[in-house]
Chain A
Amino acid sequence: MAYACCAATKNILRVSQFTRLMSVYPSHYVNPIVEKNLQSSKGNELSHIPIKAAPNDLNDTIFYGQLKQKFLNYITKKGNAALAKELLTKTFEIIKRTQIERLNLGTADQEKVITDPETLLVNAIENSRPLLTLSAIKRGGVKYQVPIPLTERKSYFLAMKWILEAAREKERKVKLPDKLAWEILDAACGQGRVIKKKDDLHRQCETNRAYAHYRWS
């Protein structure tokens, strides 16, 4: 079964070619195309343009997922990506075990129980994505909390950040994979601390909708 996360997630996390960041490459260099099925269609144009080297993190295998890779990057501390990968693998193992247990117990609806941890991670992130946020805007000497829309990238970032934050708020003896697994399962089901945080934010935005026009003054 192909990993749905590879195909389902949109390519919003890729850095736009139009943003000029610090780079060892001159500005006319383009990003490489790693996906094999896209290489034949777009490869012809790229053969005449200098291409940047593909990052080590990218590959065109069933093991790669764009959102999963981004999540790994957020788990990584002090460049220890190998440890982050181990932790996430253990997290996925725990998720899988839990879900299979639920499936075998047969209490819940059998079709609805998803056992694939990658899919559950994607679902968790999508469910906990905020769409609006509050921004402090000063009008007439008073700072109002004005609801403003979030860009896609920012909302994905916040979702993943909140899930990890919730997972790290734990007792010393509890291991991260355990806590993270439970947070992901909760968020995928639409319950838990992360979903509560998102809903609180949305509720605040709703109550402050009167100030929405302050965005443009």
Chain B
Amino acid sequence: MEFAELIKTPRVDNVVLHRPFYPAVEGTLCLTGHHLILSSRQDNTEELWLLHSNIDAIDKRFVGPLGTIIIKCKDFRIIQLDIPGMEECLNIASSIEALSTLDSITLMYPFFYRPMFEVIEDGWHSFLPEQEFELYSSATNEWRLSYVNKDFAVCSSYPPIVIVPKSIDDEALRKVATFRHGGRFPVLSYYHKKNGMVIMRSGQPLTGTNGRRCKEDEKLINATLRAGKRGYIIDTRSLNVAQQARAKGGGFEQEAHYPQWRRIHKSIERYHILQESLIKLVEACNDQSHNMDRWLSKLEASNWLTHVKEILTTACLAAQCVDREGASILIHGTEGTDSTLQVTSLAQIILEPRSRTIRGFEALIEREWLQAGHPFQQRCALSAYCNSKQKWESPVFLLFLDCVWQILRQFPCSFEFNENFLIMLFEHAYASQFGTFLGNNESERCKLKLQQKTMSLWSWVNRPSELSQFTNPLFEANNLVIWPSVAPQSLQLWEGIFLRWNRSSKYLDEAYEEMVHIIEYNKELQAKVNILRRQLAELETEGGTQESP
């Protein structure tokens, strides 16, 4: 196979593995095309099975003939391998380095992975845009599906099918696309059934320095307003940044041309600022010194929670406009592929009970992140330990998951899924055997033929045997809008992600088990009582019939 030349030493004996919270294990290290495997010699049971694509960075050092490789993973775990023999160690290190930074997507594991489970439902077809649209079409006939982008010619980062106002034809959409960054013309993101208000999203308008305008664009977004109603445009950039964007051909909606819209600027950070924030945060979490002061100041200096707060605040604002003010909104930043999606998807978590169920949340990820063209391949290529500072690497999706976790923590009974579900999504976004998060948009995914060549994450997750570990036992469906608090006192570091490898979770896991036990036992009794009641009723009627003749 094609990986053979990258694997200089496929197997080394007497390697010692050090992991957090486990005793050191001595065993045989094997490298395969996609995995690093360490199994102890004693009973030959599997000890470690690590995807190369999960490796973020490696360090090596030598003490005499003993080499040590420190492997830093994208899920923030750090493991250490002690390898006897300098040559073996160097070979292993360079092999890992090569295998963890494969250039071609088609060499990635999802293209080689053969599932050992039976596919009950093909996840690639679980969330079709037509089905999603049906949920709305019962409530409104003001919107339609447009196939204008079916060959990705109008907008390369949009899916083939989008939802647009019924009164706007495809020709107009093509024109609007030339006026929006990346061709991302305004499309429907969310329809609030309660009052018919909507959330739309797009790229920035290309007004440039001379205030270019586009009548079709104005017509499109005005088509979503009821007579006499005003809408809000939420620009996720500060006014300053938005103004600067004009010099590069971008810009924002001028009041004069959009008199029915009020523009609000928020400032959500992007790109390397978020990446640096993540690097600092993970560094602080890994710091083993015990000075209380330094911990808080490092947490503060990372700014991670500031980003969480800013994103949540903007999402609350969007939800407020829709639910409380009864106004429709358009959200965009620059490209409309990052902060825009954070805000539209979190607003839906707040507003839409369905998005708090497992299926609904999966649909949300599919619709608002994958189909909407969040460039996962670029954003999640590397994680907190990388040294390369590429502009496009950025933990945008992780921040979104963190915000969801914050809401989940404040409303522990309102979500059908639990924290493990969010952690699982984080892991798979960065390294996975499934094809779901490969590629940067639908167009790329089509070209890669992911549906034919790889397995969908949803095919695996949605099996009843897997779902149980992701189901929140406290869940009680409610139809309410849930308003999270964004005060600093209400926001916490997501320990399940960031301290996962730095503190034992034994006692917390026990508490979770106890909680499950309490609820399961209750259900069990409920079932028993119901059966007995029925049996008794039957016995009584039988008794009655015997007596009555």
The answer to whether A and B come from one shared complex is no
Residues on B facing A (Cβ under 8 Å): none
Residues on A facing B (Cβ under 8 Å): none
